[in-house]
Amino acid sequence: MTAWRLFPEGTVPEWTTTAWYQERDRAPHIDEPAHQGRLTLAADMVRWAVEHHPVQSVVDLGCGDGGLLWSLRDLAERWQLRMWGYDLQPSNIGPAVSERGVDVRYGDVVTGDVEWADLAVCTEMIEHLVDPAAFVRRVAEQSRVVVASSPFTERPGSAYKFHTWAFDIQGYKDLLEQAGYEVVRHETTSMFQIALGVKP
């Protein structure tokens, strides 16, 4: 797997802890031009997965203020899907519910007790984790379909300061495959890669 650890082995970066997220500002990514392309592509992959696989529920893990869920509300209505998300940032959860009208809950998706779904979305969160491989295996134990995205252009010395791992295209594919997913779509937009994995 072509992946790079961006923090000293044996340490736990502050930004990977629950406490660090408690005072962070809201992250309205769907309203930010830099993120719209990757969110549009992620939404397209969710739509494709629902149309081609037996998916009745979708959970967005680390969903921010619920922008992706909000963009998929027509899909939920048409296919009678249950959709919800989890985030660690209280500043995201209130607006997700009150402004976007989506079901977003406070929860630690890495180690906490959360409700799982047929399809799990993990956009722009895997690269923030101490052990991404273990997390993807955890997801694979519960969800037979995954849509995940992370940057593919970052390397040690040229990565966002709060990222703990960097992956190239092959490294991201390997990350999903080591958990038992078959990568059936893998595309890029701007600096982001978005992959759709299905359990055989």
Phi and psi (nearest 5°) for 45?
-70, -35
**Could you give the domains of the chain?**
3-198 (3.40.50.150)
Q: What is the mean pLDDT of residues 142-164?
A: 98
Ramachandran quadrant class, 120 (left: phi over 0; alpha: psi -120 to 50; beta: rest)? beta
Mean pLDDT of the chain: 97
Inform me whether the pLDDT recorded for 24 exceeds 90: yes
Share of the chain above pLDDT 90, in %: 95
**CA within 13 Å, CB half, 26:** 15
CA 170 to chain centre: 18
Whole-model pTM: value is: 0.96
Inform me whether the pLDDT recorded for 29 exceeds 90: no
106: helix, coil or strand?
A: strand
Ramachandran quadrant class, 160 (left: phi over 0; alpha: psi -120 to 50; beta: rest)? beta
> Which tens digits make up the pLDDT trace of 94-119?
999 999 999 999 999 999 999 999 99
Check residue 1 and give its pLDDT: 63
| Helix %, strand %, coil % of the chain (to 5) | 35, 25, 40
